[in-house]
Amino acid sequence: MEMRTQEELHGIVIIGGGISGLATALGLHKKGMKSVVLERSETLRNTGAAIAFFHNGWHAFDHLGVGDQLRAKSTLITEMHTKWVHKDGTGDVIPIGEEGLRCVKRSDIVDALADSLPSESIRFGCRIVAVETDPVTSFHAVHLEDGSVMRTKVLIGCDGSNSVVAKTLGLKPPNLFRTQVAQAVTSYPNGHGLSNHFLYLWGDKLLLGRVPIDEKTVYWFVVQEVNPKDFESKEDSRVVRDLTVEALKDCPAEVVEMVKRCRFPYIESDIMDNDCGWGCYTLAGSGTIQGAGTALEDAVVLARCLSQEMPIGLSESKMSDQEIQIRAGVALRRYARERRWRILLLSAKSYLLGSILCASWPKRFVFLIIFSKILGGKFSHTKYDCGHL
Ligand SMILES: Cc1cc2nc3c(=O)[nH]c(=O)nc-3n(C[C@H](O)[C@H](O)[C@H](O)COP(=O)(O)OP(=O)(O)OC[C@H]3O[C@@H](n4cnc5c(N)ncnc54)[C@H](O)[C@@H]3O)c2cc1C
């Protein structure tokens, strides 16, 4: 790990080297703006299962310059098959559209983003414990666990759902939702033999999703009401797998078998929030709302807003501190404005989807009507275009 002097000054510091932090750094890099990503773990966190992206996510990947290499590692899915366990597996086939969706292993995404960045832009082993803002300059002091301090003109919090940045800057904690998601990848060395569709299997207060990544691997997730028992054991993947299998007792044998065969299932609670701050700091990615597609959109919009206000970057800039403060504030307010309505819509959709899962049948019916008639249905948000970098 690189040695740090006691107090370094940076133009832009990004806290968190997950998909959001890396994508934001890459967006800025593509606009010629330097930033430094501070990640608490000692190496790249390229574990996890996989993530499905619709058109909106691929659009952002393309602008970040990694779209084609990730497309090559995925399969195009153009149909969704919705089935109901209690109706003997009958259901509907819903076309997703020509653009469809593609599912990519999380490791491939993290590696592609990190490999596109200059190596010195990511620093590992940097756990942030607190952030302070200078009331006069609005610049930030970032305190690391090892006692060192970094100063930065602009601070971007991409440190996930329990964001230290959000906490120390006084933002509300994220709203934890009533549902939890277990997810994993299952490999079939001789091929899975499934057709290229996204299966949505509704059970009693349970939803299973299954998407092929390529001919030999399948990504799946199981959403259900939060079960404290599952959360106590979330670190032990064998227990997560056994509890998930137990929850699928009424489901077809092939999906139960898929879950039994998986390695390293991973469980987390759903979050929803829509606060992203202003001044010379902001949040992006799952610090604001769950979802890697939204994290990528945030990265593109944020890099665009900052580079429009500071076309020659921050480190090289001859601007006075006061001018930087004003321009950064303008850029981050524009970012917050551009995403406000989108995040509100996504929050409403997440809320309704979770409610459909946990509600009684009459309430489910009402929620489904609101979901499809007022909020535009399952796929309306996937047509969103975050624009160019
Ligand atoms: C290991 C892992 C596996 C995942 N697997 C899946 C999956 O299979 N499918 C899926 O749909 N979603 C998965 N997710 C979630 C998904 O990646 C995110 O919801 C989405 O990509 C938004 O990413 P993010 O960068 O905002 O947040 P995150 O992916 O949570 O990344 C936040 C990053 O910030 C770092 N960090 C947090 N606090 C600090 C701190 N105080 N100081 C410094 N660094 C800090 C974390 O170590 C992490 O690398 C996973 C997340 C992680 C961390």
Q: How many whole angstroms separate alpha carbon 71 and alpha carbon 65?
A: 12
253-260 helix and 237-247 helix, angle to the nearest 10 degrees: 170
Query: 137 Cβ partners below 8 Å, 6+ apart?
Result: 321, 322, 325
CA Rg value for the chain: 21
DSSP category for residue 196 = S
pLDDT band at 348 (very low <50, low <70, confident <90, very high): confident
Contact yes or no for 274/253 (Cβ under 8 A): no
pLDDT at 315 over 70: no
Query: Whose CA is closest to atom 20 on ligand 1?
Result: 292
pLDDT tens per residue, range 127-142: 999 999 888 777 899 9
pLDDT above 50 for 28: yes
Does pLDDT of 277 surpass 60? no
Strand ranges for 124-262 from DSSP E: 128-133, 140-144, 149-157, 175-187, 197-203, 206-212, 217-225
Beta bridge partners of 83: 91, 201
Confidence of residue 293 (pLDDT cuts 50, 70, 90): confident
pLDDT bin (cut points 50, 70, 90) of residue 350 is confident
Greatest mean pLDDT among 34-43, 247-256, 337-346, 374-383? 34-43
Ligand 1 atom having least distance to the Cα of 23: 25
For residue 287, the model assigns a pLDDT of 44
What pLDDT score was predicted for residue 230? Answer: 65
Ligand 1 atom nearest residue 285's Cα: 26
Reported as a pLDDT band with limits 50, 70 and 90, residue 316 is low
- 378 vs 195, more confident: 195
Check if the beta carbon of residue 17 is closer than 8 Å to that of residue 45: yes
- By CB atoms closer than 10 A (0-12, 13-18, 19+), residue 70 is buried
- Asked if pLDDT for residue 24 goes beyond 90, the answer is yes
Cα(21) to centroid(ligand 1), Å: 9
Q: Are 16 and 37 in contact (CB under 8 A)?
A: yes
Q: Are 7 and 150 in contact (CB under 8 A)?
A: yes
CA of 262 to the centre of ligand 1 (A): 21
Residue 285 has pLDDT above 60, yes or no: no
3 falls in which pLDDT band (50, 70, 90)?
Answer: very low
d(CA 44, CA 180): 25
Complete domains list, the chain, with CATH: 7-383 (3.50.50.60)
Instruction: Check: CB of residue 140 under 8 Å from CB of residue 318.
Output: no
Query: Residue 278: its pLDDT value, please?
Result: 45
pLDDT, tens digit, for every residue of 32-89?
A: 999 999 999 999 999 889 999 999 999 999 999 999 999 999 999 999 998 988 777 6
How many angstroms is it from 18 CA to the middle of ligand 1? 5
Q: Which amino acid is at 208?
A: L
Q: Which of 21-25, 173-177, 339-343 has the highest mean pLDDT?
A: 21-25
- The helix/strand/coil state of 189 is coil
92-124 pLDDT per residue, tens: 888 887 788 999 999 999 999 999 999 999 999
Measured CA to CA, the distance from residue 328 to residue 112 in angstroms comes to 28
For residue 333, pLDDT over 50 is answered with: yes
Q: What is the mean pLDDT of the chain?
A: 84
297-312 pLDDT, tens digit each:
999 999 999 999 987 6
Q: Which of 1, 40, 167 has most ligand 1 atoms within 8 Å of CB, for mutation? A: 40
Does 270 score more than 70 pLDDT?
Answer: no
